[in-house]
Amino acid sequence: MAAMKISRRSLFRGAAAMGALSLGTNSAAPAFSRQPETAMALASDERFWAQIAKDFDISPDIINLENGYWGLMARPVLEDYIVHTRAVNRNNSFYARREYNKDAAAVLTRTAAALGADEGEIAITRGATEALQALIGGYDKLKPGDAVMYADLDYYSMKSAMDWTAKRHGCDVVRLEIPQPVSYDQLIEFYTEALAANPRVRLLLLTHISHRTGLMIPVKAITKAARAMGVDVIVDAAHSFGQVDIKIEDLGADFIGFNLHKWIGAPIGTGAMYIRKTRLEDIAPNLASDSSEKHRLSGRIHTGTSNFAAILTLPAAFDYHERIGRQNKQARLRYLRNLWVEAVSDLEMLEILTPNDERLHGGITSFRLRGKTSVDDNKAIAERLVQEFGIFTTHRDGVAKGACVRVTPAIYNSADDCHRLAMALRKITT
Ligand SMILES: Cc1ncc(COP(=O)(O)O)c(C=O)c1O
Protein backbone atom coordinates (compact mmCIF):
# COMPACT_ATOMS: atom_id res chain seq x y z
CA MET A 1 0.00 0.00 0.00
CA ALA A 2 2.08 2.84 -1.30
CA ALA A 3 -0.24 5.45 0.18
CA MET A 4 0.45 4.15 3.68
CA LYS A 5 4.21 4.45 3.36
CA ILE A 6 4.50 7.57 5.42
CA SER A 7 7.97 8.19 6.67
CA ARG A 8 8.57 9.78 10.04
CA ARG A 9 10.29 12.63 8.28
CA SER A 10 7.34 13.38 6.07
CA LEU A 11 4.92 13.23 9.00
CA PHE A 12 6.61 16.10 10.78
CA ARG A 13 8.55 17.78 8.05
CA GLY A 14 6.17 20.70 8.21
CA ALA A 15 6.52 21.10 11.93
CA ALA A 16 10.28 20.92 11.78
CA ALA A 17 10.37 23.55 9.10
CA MET A 18 8.16 25.80 11.14
CA GLY A 19 10.34 25.16 14.16
CA ALA A 20 13.35 26.29 12.21
CA LEU A 21 11.51 29.40 11.07
CA SER A 22 10.43 30.17 14.58
CA LEU A 23 14.04 30.42 15.58
CA GLY A 24 15.09 32.43 12.62
CA THR A 25 13.74 34.94 10.22
CA ASN A 26 10.08 34.45 11.06
CA SER A 27 10.43 35.61 14.63
CA ALA A 28 10.90 39.20 15.66
CA ALA A 29 12.85 38.04 18.71
CA PRO A 30 16.60 38.50 18.40
CA ALA A 31 18.84 36.36 20.61
CA PHE A 32 20.10 38.24 23.65
CA SER A 33 22.53 37.65 26.43
CA ARG A 34 21.07 36.35 29.69
CA GLN A 35 23.30 38.45 31.92
CA PRO A 36 21.20 40.09 34.64
CA GLU A 37 22.77 43.56 34.01
CA THR A 38 21.88 43.28 30.34
CA ALA A 39 18.40 42.16 31.29
CA MET A 40 17.93 45.20 33.51
CA ALA A 41 19.05 47.55 30.75
CA LEU A 42 16.94 45.75 28.16
CA ALA A 43 13.83 45.84 30.35
CA SER A 44 13.17 49.49 29.52
CA ASP A 45 14.09 49.28 25.83
CA GLU A 46 10.67 49.87 24.28
CA ARG A 47 12.01 49.40 20.76
CA PHE A 48 13.25 45.92 21.57
CA TRP A 49 9.98 44.88 23.23
CA ALA A 50 7.91 46.41 20.43
CA GLN A 51 9.76 44.02 18.11
CA ILE A 52 8.87 41.12 20.42
CA ALA A 53 5.24 42.27 20.48
CA LYS A 54 5.11 41.78 16.72
CA ASP A 55 5.36 38.04 17.36
CA PHE A 56 1.96 38.09 19.07
CA ASP A 57 -1.50 38.47 17.54
CA ILE A 58 -2.75 41.05 20.00
CA SER A 59 -6.38 42.10 20.02
CA PRO A 60 -6.66 45.80 19.16
CA ASP A 61 -9.97 46.04 21.07
CA ILE A 62 -8.56 46.22 24.59
CA ILE A 63 -5.34 46.79 26.53
CA ASN A 64 -5.01 43.35 28.01
CA LEU A 65 -3.46 43.49 31.47
CA GLU A 66 -5.02 40.15 32.45
CA ASN A 67 -2.49 37.67 31.16
CA GLY A 68 -2.63 35.40 34.19
CA TYR A 69 -5.36 33.06 32.97
CA TRP A 70 -3.10 31.67 30.28
CA GLY A 71 -0.40 33.10 28.04
CA LEU A 72 -0.80 34.02 24.39
CA MET A 73 1.27 31.75 22.19
CA ALA A 74 3.83 33.70 20.19
CA ARG A 75 3.17 33.32 16.46
CA PRO A 76 6.05 30.87 15.82
CA VAL A 77 4.68 28.65 18.60
CA LEU A 78 1.13 28.94 17.31
CA GLU A 79 2.27 28.03 13.80
CA ASP A 80 4.16 25.02 15.11
CA TYR A 81 1.03 23.97 16.99
CA ILE A 82 -1.10 24.29 13.86
CA VAL A 83 1.34 22.17 11.88
CA HIS A 84 1.37 19.49 14.60
CA THR A 85 -2.42 19.60 14.87
CA ARG A 86 -2.77 19.04 11.13
CA ALA A 87 -0.21 16.23 11.12
CA VAL A 88 -1.75 14.45 14.11
CA ASN A 89 -5.21 14.80 12.62
CA ARG A 90 -4.06 13.52 9.26
CA ASN A 91 -2.00 10.59 10.50
CA ASN A 92 -4.21 9.71 13.44
CA SER A 93 -3.45 6.46 15.26
CA PHE A 94 -0.92 5.39 12.63
CA TYR A 95 1.31 8.08 14.08
CA ALA A 96 0.10 7.88 17.67
CA ARG A 97 0.61 4.12 17.98
CA ARG A 98 3.90 3.85 16.13
CA GLU A 99 5.79 7.09 16.58
CA TYR A 100 4.35 9.26 19.30
CA ASN A 101 6.04 7.64 22.29
CA LYS A 102 9.47 8.31 20.83
CA ASP A 103 8.58 11.96 20.18
CA ALA A 104 6.99 12.32 23.61
CA ALA A 105 10.17 10.97 25.23
CA ALA A 106 12.18 13.70 23.48
CA VAL A 107 9.71 16.31 24.70
CA LEU A 108 10.06 14.98 28.23
CA THR A 109 13.86 15.21 28.02
CA ARG A 110 13.56 18.82 26.90
CA THR A 111 11.04 19.70 29.61
CA ALA A 112 13.16 18.11 32.33
CA ALA A 113 16.22 20.02 31.12
CA ALA A 114 14.27 23.31 31.08
CA LEU A 115 13.20 22.68 34.67
CA GLY A 116 16.62 21.45 35.78
CA ALA A 117 15.37 17.99 36.76
CA ASP A 118 16.18 14.42 35.84
CA GLU A 119 13.86 12.87 33.27
CA GLY A 120 12.62 10.34 35.78
CA GLU A 121 11.45 13.17 38.01
CA ILE A 122 9.10 14.90 35.53
CA ALA A 123 5.78 13.96 33.98
CA ILE A 124 3.91 16.04 31.41
CA THR A 125 0.41 16.94 32.58
CA ARG A 126 -2.53 18.92 31.25
CA GLY A 127 -1.73 21.77 33.63
CA ALA A 128 -0.93 22.61 37.22
CA THR A 129 -4.29 21.26 38.39
CA GLU A 130 -3.64 17.74 37.17
CA ALA A 131 -0.12 17.76 38.64
CA LEU A 132 -1.16 19.14 42.02
CA GLN A 133 -4.22 16.91 42.34
CA ALA A 134 -1.96 13.92 41.78
CA LEU A 135 0.50 15.17 44.40
CA ILE A 136 -1.98 16.28 47.05
CA GLY A 137 -4.39 13.37 46.50
CA GLY A 138 -1.57 10.84 46.25
CA TYR A 139 0.47 11.99 49.24
CA ASP A 140 0.69 8.81 51.20
CA LYS A 141 2.31 9.60 54.53
CA LEU A 142 -0.55 11.12 56.50
CA LYS A 143 -1.92 9.29 59.54
CA PRO A 144 -5.08 9.93 61.55
CA GLY A 145 -4.43 12.74 64.00
CA ASP A 146 -1.91 14.52 61.75
CA ALA A 147 -2.75 17.91 60.26
CA VAL A 148 -2.24 19.68 56.94
CA MET A 149 -1.71 23.42 56.44
CA TYR A 150 -2.45 26.02 53.79
CA ALA A 151 -3.04 29.77 53.56
CA ASP A 152 -5.63 32.20 52.24
CA LEU A 153 -3.55 33.08 49.18
CA ASP A 154 -3.38 29.48 47.93
CA TYR A 155 -5.46 28.46 44.90
CA TYR A 156 -9.04 27.52 45.68
CA SER A 157 -9.04 24.03 44.14
CA MET A 158 -5.74 23.13 45.81
CA LYS A 159 -7.23 24.12 49.16
CA SER A 160 -10.18 21.84 48.38
CA ALA A 161 -7.76 19.06 47.49
CA MET A 162 -5.95 19.57 50.83
CA ASP A 163 -9.32 19.42 52.65
CA TRP A 164 -10.18 16.22 50.76
CA THR A 165 -6.85 14.60 51.58
CA ALA A 166 -7.10 15.61 55.24
CA LYS A 167 -10.60 14.13 55.51
CA ARG A 168 -9.57 10.92 53.78
CA HIS A 169 -6.69 10.37 56.21
CA GLY A 170 -8.52 11.56 59.33
CA CYS A 171 -6.40 14.71 59.66
CA ASP A 172 -7.13 18.27 60.74
CA VAL A 173 -6.67 21.33 58.57
CA VAL A 174 -4.81 24.44 59.75
CA ARG A 175 -5.72 27.52 57.71
CA LEU A 176 -3.44 30.55 57.78
CA GLU A 177 -3.90 34.17 56.77
CA ILE A 178 -0.74 35.63 55.27
CA PRO A 179 -0.05 39.07 56.80
CA GLN A 180 -0.26 42.09 54.54
CA PRO A 181 1.91 44.08 54.22
CA VAL A 182 4.68 41.61 54.78
CA SER A 183 8.45 41.46 54.26
CA TYR A 184 10.70 38.63 53.04
CA ASP A 185 11.95 37.80 56.54
CA GLN A 186 8.47 38.12 58.05
CA LEU A 187 7.14 35.55 55.60
CA ILE A 188 9.76 33.00 56.63
CA GLU A 189 9.13 33.79 60.29
CA PHE A 190 5.37 33.59 59.78
CA TYR A 191 5.46 30.07 58.31
CA THR A 192 8.14 28.85 60.73
CA GLU A 193 6.15 30.06 63.73
CA ALA A 194 2.90 28.65 62.35
CA LEU A 195 4.51 25.23 61.95
CA ALA A 196 6.07 25.41 65.42
CA ALA A 197 2.66 26.32 66.89
CA ASN A 198 1.01 23.40 65.07
CA PRO A 199 3.34 20.43 65.60
CA ARG A 200 0.81 17.92 64.22
CA VAL A 201 1.13 19.44 60.73
CA ARG A 202 2.90 17.00 58.41
CA LEU A 203 2.00 18.48 55.01
CA LEU A 204 2.17 22.11 53.90
CA LEU A 205 0.91 23.63 50.64
CA LEU A 206 2.89 26.64 49.39
CA THR A 207 1.95 28.72 46.37
CA HIS A 208 5.10 30.27 44.97
CA ILE A 209 3.37 33.18 43.21
CA SER A 210 -0.15 33.94 44.34
CA HIS A 211 -2.76 34.19 41.61
CA ARG A 212 -4.70 36.48 43.98
CA THR A 213 -2.18 39.23 44.81
CA GLY A 214 1.00 38.30 42.95
CA LEU A 215 2.93 37.82 46.20
CA MET A 216 5.95 35.58 45.62
CA ILE A 217 6.93 33.76 48.77
CA PRO A 218 10.41 32.49 49.73
CA VAL A 219 9.55 28.87 49.04
CA LYS A 220 13.09 27.52 49.36
CA ALA A 221 13.69 28.99 52.82
CA ILE A 222 10.24 27.98 54.09
CA THR A 223 10.63 24.46 52.66
CA LYS A 224 13.99 24.12 54.38
CA ALA A 225 12.51 25.21 57.71
CA ALA A 226 9.54 22.85 57.22
CA ARG A 227 11.80 19.93 56.37
CA ALA A 228 13.75 20.52 59.58
CA MET A 229 10.46 20.14 61.45
CA GLY A 230 9.54 16.93 59.60
CA VAL A 231 6.95 18.63 57.38
CA ASP A 232 6.66 17.87 53.66
CA VAL A 233 5.87 20.68 51.26
CA ILE A 234 3.90 20.58 48.00
CA VAL A 235 4.58 23.63 45.86
CA ASP A 236 2.03 25.17 43.53
CA ALA A 237 4.29 26.78 40.94
CA ALA A 238 1.51 27.40 38.41
CA HIS A 239 2.53 31.04 38.01
CA SER A 240 6.27 30.83 38.47
CA PHE A 241 8.00 28.99 35.68
CA GLY A 242 8.50 31.54 32.91
CA GLN A 243 7.28 34.57 34.84
CA VAL A 244 10.40 34.44 36.99
CA ASP A 245 13.65 32.70 36.19
CA ILE A 246 13.48 29.59 38.33
CA LYS A 247 14.45 25.97 38.15
CA ILE A 248 13.64 23.15 40.53
CA GLU A 249 16.68 23.84 42.72
CA ASP A 250 15.44 27.39 43.37
CA LEU A 251 12.33 26.00 45.03
CA GLY A 252 14.11 23.22 46.90
CA ALA A 253 10.91 21.19 47.28
CA ASP A 254 10.28 17.50 46.66
CA PHE A 255 6.82 17.84 45.07
CA ILE A 256 5.92 20.60 42.58
CA GLY A 257 3.16 21.30 40.07
CA PHE A 258 3.84 23.57 37.08
CA ASN A 259 1.94 25.13 34.24
CA LEU A 260 3.42 25.48 30.78
CA HIS A 261 0.45 27.28 29.21
CA LYS A 262 0.74 30.39 31.36
CA TRP A 263 4.23 31.90 31.31
CA ILE A 264 6.00 29.55 28.92
CA GLY A 265 3.38 30.31 26.27
CA ALA A 266 2.81 26.69 25.25
CA PRO A 267 -0.62 25.54 23.99
CA ILE A 268 -3.44 25.35 26.53
CA GLY A 269 -3.50 21.97 28.24
CA THR A 270 0.19 21.62 29.13
CA GLY A 271 1.90 21.43 32.50
CA ALA A 272 4.38 19.34 34.44
CA MET A 273 4.68 17.43 37.70
CA TYR A 274 7.93 17.06 39.61
CA ILE A 275 8.65 14.42 42.24
CA ARG A 276 12.18 14.20 43.62
CA LYS A 277 13.64 10.80 42.76
CA THR A 278 14.09 9.78 46.37
CA ARG A 279 10.48 10.62 47.23
CA LEU A 280 8.55 8.71 44.56
CA GLU A 281 7.20 6.09 46.92
CA ASP A 282 5.54 8.79 49.07
CA ILE A 283 3.07 9.60 46.29
CA ALA A 284 0.67 6.73 45.68
CA PRO A 285 0.32 5.39 42.13
CA ASN A 286 -2.65 6.81 40.24
CA LEU A 287 -5.78 4.71 40.66
CA ALA A 288 -5.88 4.10 36.90
CA SER A 289 -2.24 3.02 36.53
CA ASP A 290 -1.29 -0.64 36.27
CA SER A 291 1.10 -2.40 38.62
CA SER A 292 4.01 -2.29 36.17
CA GLU A 293 4.11 1.49 36.73
CA LYS A 294 4.21 1.23 40.50
CA HIS A 295 7.83 2.28 40.77
CA ARG A 296 7.77 4.82 37.95
CA LEU A 297 6.80 8.44 38.05
CA SER A 298 4.62 7.96 34.97
CA GLY A 299 2.40 5.80 37.16
CA ARG A 300 1.48 8.86 39.26
CA ILE A 301 -0.38 10.53 36.36
CA HIS A 302 -2.88 8.87 34.06
CA THR A 303 -4.17 11.36 31.52
CA GLY A 304 -5.63 8.97 28.97
CA THR A 305 -5.61 10.16 25.38
CA SER A 306 -3.56 13.35 25.33
CA ASN A 307 -3.53 16.44 23.19
CA PHE A 308 -0.59 15.10 21.18
CA ALA A 309 -0.13 18.30 19.18
CA ALA A 310 0.02 20.48 22.30
CA ILE A 311 2.71 18.28 23.82
CA LEU A 312 4.68 18.15 20.57
CA THR A 313 4.68 21.95 20.51
CA LEU A 314 6.47 22.26 23.86
CA PRO A 315 9.97 22.41 22.33
CA ALA A 316 8.92 25.35 20.13
CA ALA A 317 7.55 27.12 23.23
CA PHE A 318 10.80 26.50 25.15
CA ASP A 319 12.81 27.67 22.14
CA TYR A 320 10.90 30.92 21.98
CA HIS A 321 11.06 31.46 25.74
CA GLU A 322 14.80 30.78 25.84
CA ARG A 323 15.50 32.85 22.78
CA ILE A 324 14.09 35.91 24.50
CA GLY A 325 15.98 34.85 27.61
CA ARG A 326 14.64 33.85 31.01
CA GLN A 327 16.33 36.79 32.73
CA ASN A 328 15.21 39.25 30.08
CA LYS A 329 11.60 38.14 30.38
CA GLN A 330 11.66 38.28 34.17
CA ALA A 331 13.24 41.74 34.16
CA ARG A 332 10.74 43.08 31.61
CA LEU A 333 7.73 41.79 33.55
CA ARG A 334 9.03 43.33 36.79
CA TYR A 335 9.76 46.57 34.95
CA LEU A 336 6.19 46.79 33.64
CA ARG A 337 4.85 46.09 37.14
CA ASN A 338 7.08 48.79 38.61
CA LEU A 339 6.03 51.35 36.01
CA TRP A 340 2.40 51.48 37.05
CA VAL A 341 3.04 50.80 40.75
CA GLU A 342 5.55 53.65 41.03
CA ALA A 343 3.31 56.00 39.05
CA VAL A 344 0.49 55.58 41.58
CA SER A 345 2.63 55.34 44.72
CA ASP A 346 1.50 58.79 45.92
CA LEU A 347 -2.18 57.81 45.88
CA GLU A 348 -3.12 57.32 49.52
CA MET A 349 -6.39 55.68 48.54
CA LEU A 350 -4.65 52.84 46.75
CA GLU A 351 -3.30 49.73 48.47
CA ILE A 352 -0.69 47.85 46.45
CA LEU A 353 -0.68 44.21 47.52
CA THR A 354 2.87 43.16 46.74
CA PRO A 355 5.89 44.76 48.42
CA ASN A 356 8.43 46.53 46.21
CA ASP A 357 11.14 44.06 47.30
CA GLU A 358 11.75 42.23 44.04
CA ARG A 359 12.23 38.93 45.85
CA LEU A 360 8.47 39.13 46.58
CA HIS A 361 6.94 39.64 43.16
CA GLY A 362 7.25 38.96 39.44
CA GLY A 363 5.03 40.81 36.98
CA ILE A 364 1.68 40.27 38.74
CA THR A 365 0.52 42.77 41.35
CA SER A 366 -2.98 43.42 42.68
CA PHE A 367 -4.43 46.58 44.18
CA ARG A 368 -7.55 47.68 46.00
CA LEU A 369 -9.02 51.01 46.95
CA ARG A 370 -8.81 51.44 50.72
CA GLY A 371 -11.98 50.18 52.35
CA LYS A 372 -13.26 48.60 49.12
CA THR A 373 -12.89 44.98 50.13
CA SER A 374 -15.97 43.26 48.71
CA VAL A 375 -15.99 41.20 45.54
CA ASP A 376 -18.63 43.52 44.08
CA ASP A 377 -16.51 46.61 44.81
CA ASN A 378 -13.60 45.10 42.94
CA LYS A 379 -15.67 43.72 40.08
CA ALA A 380 -17.00 47.26 39.65
CA ILE A 381 -13.50 48.76 39.50
CA ALA A 382 -12.34 46.18 36.96
CA GLU A 383 -15.47 46.89 34.89
CA ARG A 384 -14.86 50.66 35.08
CA LEU A 385 -11.35 50.09 33.79
CA VAL A 386 -12.81 48.28 30.78
CA GLN A 387 -15.71 50.63 30.08
CA GLU A 388 -14.04 54.01 30.64
CA PHE A 389 -10.41 53.29 29.84
CA GLY A 390 -10.35 50.19 27.63
CA ILE A 391 -8.09 48.33 30.07
CA PHE A 392 -8.79 44.71 30.98
CA THR A 393 -7.82 43.40 34.44
CA THR A 394 -9.68 40.99 36.71
CA HIS A 395 -11.00 41.02 40.25
CA ARG A 396 -9.71 38.35 42.67
CA ASP A 397 -11.32 37.12 45.85
CA GLY A 398 -10.21 34.81 48.65
CA VAL A 399 -7.68 37.17 50.24
CA ALA A 400 -8.37 37.32 53.98
CA LYS A 401 -8.07 41.13 54.01
CA GLY A 402 -10.53 41.51 51.14
CA ALA A 403 -10.96 41.23 47.39
CA CYS A 404 -8.74 43.12 44.95
CA VAL A 405 -8.06 43.78 41.28
CA ARG A 406 -5.21 41.87 39.66
CA VAL A 407 -2.95 43.44 37.05
CA THR A 408 -0.96 40.97 34.94
CA PRO A 409 1.20 42.36 32.14
CA ALA A 410 2.73 40.11 29.50
CA ILE A 411 5.94 40.60 27.55
CA TYR A 412 3.97 42.01 24.62
CA ASN A 413 2.57 44.86 26.75
CA SER A 414 4.15 48.27 26.33
CA ALA A 415 5.23 50.89 28.86
CA ASP A 416 2.37 52.97 27.47
CA ASP A 417 -0.15 50.28 28.54
CA CYS A 418 1.11 50.63 32.11
CA HIS A 419 1.11 54.43 32.01
CA ARG A 420 -2.50 54.32 30.81
CA LEU A 421 -3.42 52.10 33.73
CA ALA A 422 -1.71 54.49 36.15
CA MET A 423 -3.59 57.45 34.66
CA ALA A 424 -6.87 55.56 34.90
CA LEU A 425 -6.25 54.74 38.56
CA ARG A 426 -5.45 58.37 39.23
CA LYS A 427 -8.78 59.41 37.68
CA ILE A 428 -10.68 56.72 39.58
CA THR A 429 -9.21 57.74 42.93
CA THR A 430 -9.45 61.54 42.59
C1 LIG B 1 -1.88 29.47 41.72
C2 LIG B 1 -2.55 28.57 40.73
N3 LIG B 1 -2.53 27.25 40.94
C4 LIG B 1 -3.10 26.39 40.08
C5 LIG B 1 -3.75 26.82 38.96
C6 LIG B 1 -4.39 25.83 38.05
O7 LIG B 1 -3.82 25.87 36.79
P8 LIG B 1 -4.55 25.14 35.56
O9 LIG B 1 -5.99 25.53 35.60
O10 LIG B 1 -3.89 25.69 34.38
O11 LIG B 1 -4.37 23.69 35.75
C12 LIG B 1 -3.82 28.19 38.69
C13 LIG B 1 -4.55 28.69 37.51
O14 LIG B 1 -4.78 29.84 37.33
C15 LIG B 1 -3.21 29.08 39.60
O16 LIG B 1 -3.24 30.40 39.40
Nearest Cα neighbor of 253 from 284, 285, 286, 231 is: 231
Per-residue pLDDT, 430: 87
Q: How far is the CA of 12 from the centre of ligand 1 (A)?
A: 31
Q: How far is the CA of 129 from the centre of ligand 1 (A)?
A: 6
Per-residue pLDDT, 41: 92
Per-residue pLDDT, 31: 54
Check pocket membership of 242 for ligand 1, CB cut-off 6 A.
no
Per-residue pLDDT, 2: 33
Q: How far is the CA of 158 from the centre of ligand 1 (A)?
A: 9
| Mean pLDDT of the 100-129 span | 98
Per-residue pLDDT, 7: 39
Check pocket membership of 176 for ligand 1, CB cut-off 6 A.
no
Check pocket membership of 297 for ligand 1, CB cut-off 6 A.
no
Q: What is the pTM of this model?
A: 0.93
- The answer to whether position 341 is within a domain reads no
Q: How far is the CA of 236 from the centre of ligand 1 (A)?
A: 8
Max Cα–Cα distance, the chain, nearest Å: 76
Q: How far is the CA of 239 from the centre of ligand 1 (A)?
A: 7
Res. 23 pLDDT band, cuts 50 70 90: very low
Q: Number of structural domains, the chain?
A: 1
- The answer to whether position 366 is within a domain reads no
- The answer to whether position 35 is within a domain reads no
Check pocket membership of 159 for ligand 1, CB cut-off 6 A.
no
- The answer to whether position 182 is within a domain reads yes
- The answer to whether position 262 is within a domain reads yes
- The answer to whether position 400 is within a domain reads no
Q: Which tens digit of pLDDT belongs to each residue from 265-277?
A: 999 999 999 999 9
Res. 1 pLDDT band, cuts 50 70 90: very low
Taking a C-beta distance cutoff of 8 angstroms, is the pair 385, 391 a contact? yes
- The answer to whether position 201 is within a domain reads yes
Per-residue pLDDT, 108: 98
Per-residue pLDDT, 293: 87
Q: How far is the CA of 387 from the centre of ligand 1 (A)?
A: 27
Check pocket membership of 351 for ligand 1, CB cut-off 6 A.
no
Kind and range of the H or E run holding 342: helix 326-343
| Residue of 209, 239, 263, 364 to mutate, ligand 1, most atoms within 8 A of C-beta | 239
Question: With DSSP H G I counted as helix, E B as strand and the rest as coil, what are the percentages for the chain, rounded to 5?
Answer: 50, 15, 35
Check pocket membership of 258 for ligand 1, CB cut-off 6 A.
no
How much is the mean pLDDT over the chain? 93
Taking a C-beta distance cutoff of 8 angstroms, is the pair 405, 372 a contact? no
Check pocket membership of 127 for ligand 1, CB cut-off 6 A.
yes
**What does each C-alpha distance from 333 to 28, 58, 102, 147, 291 come to in angstroms?**
18, 17, 36, 37, 45
The minimum-distance atom of ligand 1 relative to the CA of 128 is 11
The percent of residues above 70 in pLDDT, for the chain, comes to: 92
Per-residue pLDDT, 328: 97
Residue 266 backbone dihedrals phi, psi, to 5 degrees? -85, 170
- The answer to whether position 52 is within a domain reads no
Check pocket membership of 207 for ligand 1, CB cut-off 6 A.
yes
Taking a C-beta distance cutoff of 8 angstroms, is the pair 258, 271 a contact? yes
Give 416's contacts (C-beta < 8 A, 6+ positions apart). none
Check pocket membership of 241 for ligand 1, CB cut-off 6 A.
no
Q: Is the pLDDT of residue 35 over 60?
A: no
The percent of residues above 90 in pLDDT, for the chain, comes to: 89
Q: How far is the CA of 128 from the centre of ligand 1 (A)?
A: 6
DSSP string, 55-84: TS---TTSEE-B-SS-PPPPHHHHHHHHHH
Q: How many CA atoms lie within 13 A of 226 on its CB side?
A: 29
The minimum-distance atom of ligand 1 relative to the CA of 154 is 1
CATH number for the domain harbouring residue 190: 3.40.640.10
Q: Is the pLDDT of residue 37 over 90?
A: no
| Mean pLDDT of the 270-287 span | 97
Check pocket membership of 259 for ligand 1, CB cut-off 6 A.
yes
State the SS3 of 294-309: CCCHHHHCCCCCCCHH
Q: Which tens digit of pLDDT belongs to each residue from 52-103?
A: 999 999 999 999 999 999 999 999 999 999 999 999 999 999 999 999 999 9
Q: How far is the CA of 123 from the centre of ligand 1 (A)?
A: 17
Q: Which tens digit of pLDDT belongs to each residue from 162-213?
A: 999 999 999 999 999 999 999 999 999 999 999 999 999 999 999 999 999 9
Per-residue pLDDT, 12: 35
Q: Which tens digit of pLDDT belongs to each residue from 383-428?
A: 999 999 999 999 999 999 999 999 999 999 999 999 999 999 999 9
Q: Which tens digit of pLDDT belongs to each residue from 341-382?
A: 999 999 999 999 999 999 999 999 999 999 999 999 999 999
Residue span of the structural domain in which 247 resides: 117-283+291-302
| Mean pLDDT of the 15-31 span | 43
